[in-house]
Structure 1
Amino acid sequence: MAIENKNKFRSHIFFLFLTGLIVLIFSALIYLLIIRTVYGRFSAAQLVPNAKAVNELLFGTFPSTAILNSYYTRNILSEESGWFDDNLKTWQKSLRNLDIKYQLIPDEDVELGKIDEYHLIVLSGCKSLSEREIIQLKKYLENGGSIFATGGTGSFSEDGKWRGWEFLSDVFGITFRKEIGNDDKTKIHTLRGGLPLTANIPTGFPLNIATWDHPVAAEVLDPRTTQVSFWYNHKLEDGLVREGIKESAGIVYGNYGKGRFVWMGFEINSVLGRQDDYVYFDRLFNNCISWLTYKPIAYLRNWPNGYRGAAMIAPIVSDSLQNLNHLLSVLGETKTKATFFVNPSIAGQNPQLIKSLVNFGEIGAFINLEFSNAISDNDDILKNILQDKIQLEKIIGVKVDGIYPSVNVSSENILKTLIASKFKYFISDSLDDRSVPKTIKRKEDKIISISRTVRDDYDIIRDFNLTEKEFQFYSYQEDVDRIAFESGLYVFKVHLDYQCSPQNVEVVKDLIRDIKSKDYWIATASEIADWSDKKEFIELRTQKRGSSRVAVTITNYGIFNINYLVVDVDLNQKAKRVSLDTEIIGTKKAQYKHKDGSQFVFMLIDELAAGESRTYYIDYDLYN
């Protein structure tokens, strides 16, 4: 009997042990499943705490960023100068705003190579560097470190002697072109679009930079370096546009060995101007830090289906109607839509001709607003505009959504009047704004502003007196290439009495063919305004999950569905075996492209409904 009880006791222990083991195994599997769901692919080694993790738990994290407090640079400045200290304070404040721990380090630490533990080194206005510092900084980059530099880095030796611009050439792959003079208080600095560093910044945004410390313009010579911006002002400066842009880089980024760098030809406290200047520079700065510290960055391409640029053909129909058929023939032959801006009085005199233009695209109003300067009563201004709009709509039989005012919309009264007139968009003759449309809001109402962005035939033919077709085409083509470089909008404004005349209209056909060959989306003004309005309500967020997963969340806060969105995701790690999944089962999947060894994933997102939010998981293995 005792033996029997003993055997039962042993069997109970074995059963309990087996049950506990099964529960433990299931718990481990559930834990691994949760880890897999949240962090994607992982190895068992990643689950075991290493010495670094234990050390950080016990003693806290070591500052990941170092700012060089260069006494060599201080020594070449006058005693009363606070320039260097001001730069340091701005950098410290900017890094604190990003919750980045930093350490001020002296020249000696760099010279002795005590910099390997830092992920990022800031060279803020460090004009003077010793040869030993330069050697150590190059080693640091070669081994995978990151450098954020501003101004004429290393152009003086430690004893204040002029060294030249070799550091810029050797490390950043650029050559010095000129210092920006301080004839003007500020200088416009144009930002490109479609780059990780300019994510979520309007393409062609004109950043206002102070010239008091003579910013530097350079030219990119090395394919490892990418130009982000340019100082050249195509509206005011002479010379060829292509060369002017190429030789006036103000921000570049790239690789040196295994490391990365960002160089700005100006100090970060040199940004002046309106609120937008500070808002978008903050985004630029944050993107730079994210890229240098290998954080993922996602951004929307400006145009549907990932087109490189957009273009709009905008004929002004006010006189010389005998030339209109020349233009219509070109549009028919090239199968191109245009947006005709018609003077209502001309439409009243030629109703059948103007109505026929609907078959070639869209019709907007070209209205004389010069009278508004002499009218103080907003009601009178509104009455005149509405009369012209209604008259034009009756003639063509469709709604008129846009207006091309004869003067720039510079006053608040005129702007409010255009909104009250229920126009969807207006064309601005100003060449001083961004290269993409801008939404202007007034309380619950809004209107889309589309800047002209490029020179028109009045500039090319009338003012420059370029009568040879080859010179006309080349001048237009320079702007086409510039807009493609920026990833912006090309507004080709033509007048019937100049570019549409029999001797010049052939240039229009050649230019349209050139635009189509360069991956442009040619659309009407309403199509462009609608796309820009919908895109403005799209929000992108990225989050690193573990070592090999990036979560991308895209949300449509607007009231309209949107199609053909292309998202560029910079994983900031070279990847292979990329896969794309959704957070929630049943979420519509996105098409994607990736090439092994690349750090970019391109996603095509279609039919994103109003109010819809989707989260995609990008899983990958590191490419060795």
Structure 2
Amino acid sequence: VMAMALGRFSLFNWGTVSYEDPDKKSIILVNPVRTEIYIRRDSTASDDSTLWPYTDRVVTWDAADTLWYSPGLKAPIGKDEKWYDEINQTHEEVPFVQWWEDLLYKSDLNYDVIYEEGLTNIYKGYVTLILPAALLLSDEEKRGIKEFVADGGNLLMCWSPGCRNEKGEWVGFSFLSQLMGAVPSGSIVDPTGGTSAVLLDEGPLTAMISPGTHLDFYTYNGFVKMNLMEGRSKSDAFWFKPYWKNAPTNLRRSNSVIAHGNYMNGKYVWFGFTPEAIQEQKNNHVILQKLVLNTLKWLQNDAVVRAKVWPRGYKAGGGLLTKVKGSSTSLDRMMDINQRAGINMDLILLDEFSAQTILFDENTTNDLILTTPKKNPLSGLTLKDQTRWFGTQVEWVERISGRKPNGYFPSDWNYDEFTLPAAVRENIQFVLANPNPRHYGPVGNLVSAGAFQWLLGGKKHLSTMPKTQLTTEEWARKGLRRKSSHFNAAIREMSRIQSTGGIYLGIFDPDVIEDINAFDLPYMVASKMDSMRFWRAPTSKLIDRFSTWQNLRVSSKEMTPTRMMISLSNEGSRSIQNVEFEVYLSGKIDRVNMTSELVGSTPTNVLWLKERGICKFTIKNIGPRDNASIYLDKISEQDIAL
């Protein structure tokens, strides 16, 4: 079911628009008349007035059990559908409406409740429009909403509004795609399961909420994941591994379930689920209310207080990869585990091949790149030679990623003043570890608070600090033979040392994480560490490893309803080679013709995947201070998202 609210919110400076403006109402809530919902098919239910999911659902998203319609909007088809329609019409209040009314009543915002079918002019006179469910929208209504936001209005949407037309017919995600600059990466309905959104701390929506917090919700109505493709959109939460069985384990971080951004002159906020689907346990409803209230403040340009909420004195977390080998399977799995615990993982890459593979992966973290080639090259070198070598590595990573690394670990784990330059030690964050004696033998000087502080730039020397000696036999006596036991023991030890103000250090081997259950990680860790941040590539994925992606500007412009131009501008001082693009097109498109206006930059390697709406191509060369224009012809009038 869907509710819609309109509020007084402004973008940058709206002049006279304020709470005191008599011409601008605060919030307007529209009782649902057209939206998608899944209900129980059990005719023997004791209370037919109670809406509930169809508990035996096995079909996919686009085969809804029933649709909500206002009286007379569409005649029901078939005996069963008529019965459902009669039940729908008897409901004067539904969960979506009630949730928003309760929230608005308790807030400082004034609101009205209206009953309206046509949404063409309903938002006139308001500054923010809220669509809290999968509202059925006509083409005219969708155009009106987009014009409203483009002219400076603001939009808050939940679930998938506009994916069906006013007749209940499925029309796809083009409405959401164009507003968000994104493409759907999946829509899921599960009658028995639940999942969670892992909140990040990079935006105004999650202010004053512990980074890494999980917002749990049910999936009987379904939820949507979006892949944000344009820089104007920022993710506030990623989809974590769902709780139901047979879920994929190699999840992509591009699966955003909460996002905010700009559309022309206005703002938008999107939740991939509906408020009434939030699970009751823990403090999920409190978290959701904070999110929504932060959203309303951000939309109306009220001050949003941002502060780190973990206890004072704790250091940010980190992760260490020692055996990447160019494979992303272990990397993705490790990120799932760390994200569950709210741990900010920084990558340590063994060699240039691994770096090439991962630096351009969407999963790569945002904070640092720590790199070391194969075995420790610093052993036996003077401090001057070590510093020179490290400077070379810093320069290499900056060239390939456009980011400055400020930490380093040697791969043979000899931590002393001869293997780590002092300037490097000062910037190293602690490392999440798996103390696995099968791979590394005794771990005595690793599980040492003194060693951790030394590595973090402490004043005391490593050799003068007390050590905790744990031999292979002692680990075995503790019952740490199983892989998952090793990892969980490391988590517990890390939490214990943190509680005393220490920093946990160790080694983490991604080869041992395949059997680890991510749900064993304690929630207590999440409140003590920074959240995971993900570096997102621009709309292109650079194959030229010696160029920086910041120098390539990408934009798009619709020339005609069936023609779009993609403009690429090299703002650097040298050529950019082999720029690979993926253009995502929504709607029913049979084929796309590509042409180029820049000599030497003809698109090659064209791969058109009709079923997914993805067209891939490569630009061989873009010279310094040069531009390339790619034209997409014979496209439909559906939206295109880069």
TM-score between both structures, scaled by the size of structure 2: 0.44
Larger radius of gyration: 1
Give the structure with the larger helix fraction.
1
TM-score between both structures, scaled by the size of structure 1: 0.45
